Chains A and B, each alone.
Chain A
Amino acid sequence: MAASDQATVGPKAAVLALHRFGFGPAAGQIEAIASDPRGALLADLDRPSAGTLTADLPSSAQAARAVFDFQAERRAQQKLALRIQKAAETSGEMQADANPAMSEAAAMAEPNNGARPKQPPLPQELIFNEAKARFDAATDADIGFVERLVWFWSNHFCISADKIPAMAGPYEREAIRPHVLGRFGDLLQAVESHPAMLFFLDNVESMGPDSVAGINRDKGLNENLARETLELHTLGVRSGYSQADVTSFAKVLTGWTWIPPSEPERGGEFVFNKLLHEPGPQTVLGETYPDTGIDQGRAVLADVARHPATTEHMAQELAGHFIADTPPPTLVDKLTRSFKDSGGDLREVAKTLIGADESWTSQRQKLKTPAVWVASLLRVTGGQTLIPIGQIMNAQATLGEPLWRPPAPNGFSDTEAALIDGVPRRLDIANAFAARLAMVDPLALLQSSIGPLASKQTRDTIAHAETRRQAVALLAMAPEFLRS
């Protein structure tokens, strides 16, 4: 039986569920799911299109090639402009307009010059399109639970657009989304073999010391991917693996690389290059794997995916992300068991999370991450159509969570300790966004966003605000809206 502070039906449970597992309510949604919030979350998992994006966007390889070409052309323009400048200096009398073709090339080389409307450079445009598709999916979702799972796993298996801008969005669509309700083992295989991850964690640089290429070039291993796969992506730090395991695993993964984006046909795609692969069997975590080429790595990943340490690590992270920074051990146990019993079926694990009474505690123990908070605000106000994606991304960056640009491979923290000092900055963002949203009725907004949870103090504060704008900003900053 659910204790009284763990109600799973009614408006309070509904609004709690929407903030905790989704991106907060959309207008009118609290009432819509109040009779069965748990059922609504489960239904979100069972939608046929769950986790997919409808936008027509380029693949990671296409994007990588396009960006490579763009950068090559820009370099050429700059060099050409330099050549023209030098020629002018040498001849001393060459007029800029004497040679129309050349002066046009010079103008192209300086895109900021002149009155032409400035297009965002291609890499930025690609990211904007990807970000918009992702953000729209969050604000438009029925519930948003599956999108929250996408964001969670994407951050867990993060790459950085600072290092590989072309692939940040495509990586999430190709490696994360297809598997968020599938098997963890498949998710892991997709992630660790994705060119974006192989580039981000330097595996494209790695080669077996005794591989053909390693001998010829006198080069060797890069352990980055192997280490982070064990430490961050699967087993967890201090879970019993040794440096020898890391080194062996790195050898296993040699040859997992990409075709350089400069290659016009298949540049940017994954390839297993056996010339880079360390020959011979490797022992990882006490298990010896014969050299079967690419399958050697697949076999290690498959075993690591179902390792008990991985199971517990994932359960801990999921519960920590959605329920509490220090989640109840009973909940972690349930998730661990579900993970194990289902063979890492992430749909089953998500169902277990929703089914557990611990997940329905009335205590709001999580501070929303900046991105989830921004999405919540725009979702309930319909503001995503009023605020350009660039400004939304700027807001996320201002709040310390720039989209797809984590400072390190462990991704962005989702704990209160990490996030709480950024709360005053959220007020400035709320204030700036509220200026665009000022036509909404604050009291109606209060009802549709936090309604049944709103304290008297919060109600009074909103009701007595000086302007609609101030009311909206204060509502966005109310504890009931910040915490889930």
Chain B
Amino acid sequence: MKLHAPSRRELLCGSGTLFGWAFLPKLAFAEGRDPRFLAIVLRGALDGLATVAPVGDPDWIALRGDEALIVGGKTPALPLDDFFAVNPAMPHLHGMFHDGEAIVLHACATPYRERSHFDGQDLLESGLPNAGPSTSGWLNRALAGLAPGGSINPKGSRVFAVGPVTPLIARGPAPVLSWSPQRIMPASEDTAARLLDLYRQSDLKLASVLEDSAKLAAIEQSGNMEMAQKPGGPGPAQIRAYFADAAGNAAKFLAQADGPRVGALALDGWDTHVNEGIAQGRLSQLLGALDEALNAIKINMGPAWSQTVVALATEFGRTARINGTDGTDHGTATVALLVGGALKGGRVLADWPGLKPANLYENRDLKPTTDLRAALKGVLKDHLRIDERALAQNVFRGSGGVKPMPGLVKAV
């Protein structure tokens, strides 16, 4: 059987780097398994409380008021258990959860306690305990750590990254195979809005040009004209298509018998400072797009879905309360999601800190009570059979005190 290499068409927008990584998760293989793992980084800080709402918390509605998702609301949240319900934009995740294929980790956070996106993303992806420059990510080091025990096999695994730039999480000593979706998205509405804000403060002429172009784009959209590559940012349909394309294609590669076993991709756009649109609007659309992407992964994985774990994590959460512009600002704890047929799912894992002001972190954020690294280490240990000592010393350096969370994947 030949190694799968992305076709020329698939590589057109990619970085063009193409390396094989021929080591395989030997111990897992020895158990008769062929595990797949995909990490999805949600950059921009996902609002965990708007994704999976603590509808059973007595302080929930007081905290978020009209923006609080509730099970009996106009757009009812979808119940996961007696306490938590998922955003109505995510029916597929809801279905996976009840089929035992999804785990929600709540009040979860990396060790990072500041609120800078760049540092927070670095720390999430580097797996290091402190912010600072890093040249490698935990996923890559995890696979590199497999090398001494693995055997060279042309059918083996390799790190696989989706996107025009290899995300930090996948960078490092293990060679990386990268693929990039064909679709080149225009700049997001959010980027355009930030730029417009800057121009309004510093260059009115440029502001007026940017405003006019946004108006034109709006007219084109209302007239149902072709939206692709028009100024004014991608519409919901384009975001959905991009997310599903990126994630779905990653799954297609991972599903191949001779394809990579481990992949990573990043989906941006979660920084919802203004008009967050939790039940209807921006976040709702983004979560809907993410939900479609998860479904695309499941479909494209085919039979390999039963051997799959997908981990979704963001750099930090958002403020527990809604801010003055109907959005939320940078916070601390949030949700992380695990989906895949290899999971012992259908559970929300949370040491719930409560939502009373005294229970909030610095009286503003959901308090972190679960270390994201514990969950990731649990998956790497039980799913890919990565050695616990390597996890503590090399993959998530200095995380010896954070034990791998047991029992996340089905016992073999």
Contacts and interface: CB of A to CB of B under 8 A. Distances in A.
B269 interface: yes
B165 interface: yes
A466 B190 contact: yes
A467 B187 contact: no
Contacts of B198: 457-458, 461, 474, 478-479
Interface in B243-274: 268-271
B224 interface: no
B163 interface: yes
B187 A427 contact: yes
B191 A442 contact: no
A421 B216 CA distance: 12
**In the complex, which range does the number of interface residues on chain B fall in?**
35 or more
Contacts of A439: 165, 168
Given A455-B202, A458-B198, A479-B202, A427 B231 contact: yes
A466 B117 contact: yes
Please indicate which of the listed interface residues A423, A464, A470 has the most CB atoms of chain B within 10 Å of its own CB. Answer: A470
A161 B277 CA distance: 50
B44 interface: yes
A423 B192 CA distance: 11
Interface string A162-205: 00000000000000000000000000000000000000000000
B271 A435 contact: no
B117 A386 contact: no
A423 B206 contact: yes
B2 interface: no
Interface in B154-200: 163-165, 168, 184-188, 190-192, 194-195, 197-199
Nearest to B208: A420
Given A466-B269, A474-B195, A477-B195, A428 B186 contact: yes
B18 interface: no
Interface string B315-350: 000000000000000000000000000000000000
A482 B15 contact: no
Interface residues of A, number: 39
Nearest to B230: A428
Nearest to A461: B198
A154 interface: no
A386 B13 CA distance: 11
Contacts, number: 104
A457 B8 CA distance: 43
Contact of A420 (B188, B190, B205, B268): B205
Interface string B96-133: 00000000000000000000011001000000000001
Contact of B191 (A420, A423, A473): A473
A435 B164 contact: yes
B115 to A, nearest CB: 10
Contact of A428 (B201, B231, B270): B231
Contacts of A483: 203
Nearest to B180: A435
B192 A467 contact: no
A204 B214 CA distance: 48
B210 interface: yes
A465 B268 contact: no
A300 to B, nearest CB: 44
Nearest to B43: A467
A479 B203 contact: yes
Nearest to A117: B8
Given A427-B191, A427-B192, A466-B271, A420 B206 contact: yes
A201 B266 CA distance: 52
A347 B190 CA distance: 47
A19 to B, nearest CB: 15
A470 B273 CA distance: 15
B206 A479 contact: yes
Given A420-B206, A457-B202, A431 B195 contact: no
A423 B164 contact: no
A469 interface: yes
A432 interface: yes
A441 interface: yes
B276 to A, nearest CB: 13
Contacts of B201: 455, 457
B75 interface: no
Nearest to B45: A466
Nearest to B200: A457
Contacts of A457: 198, 201-202
Interface string A423-455: 111011011100111110110000000000001
B369 interface: no
Contacts of B117: 465-467
A483 B206 CA distance: 10
A424 B191 contact: no
A468 interface: yes
B201 to A, nearest CB: 4
Nearest to B186: A428
B118 A468 contact: yes
Contacts of B203: 479, 483
Please indicate which of the listed interface residues B163, B203, B271 has the most CB atoms of chain A within 10 Å of its own CB. Answer: B203
A117 B118 CA distance: 40
Contact of B229 (A428, A471, A479): A428
10 contacts: A117-B8, A427-B186, A427-B192, A436-B164, A436-B165, A437-B165, A466-B45, A466-B117, A468-B121, A473-B187
Given A466-B44, A467-B43, A473-B191, 17 more contacts: A118-B8, A421-B213, A424-B209, A427-B191, A431-B186, A431-B188, A436-B164, A438-B165, A439-B168, A441-B118, A461-B195, A467-B44, A468-B118, A470-B191, A470-B194, A479-B198, A479-B199
The 10 lowest CB-CB distance pairs between A and B, nearest first, are A466-B271, A431-B187, A424-B213, A424-B231, A479-B203, A457-B201, A466-B44, A435-B164, A428-B186, A461-B198
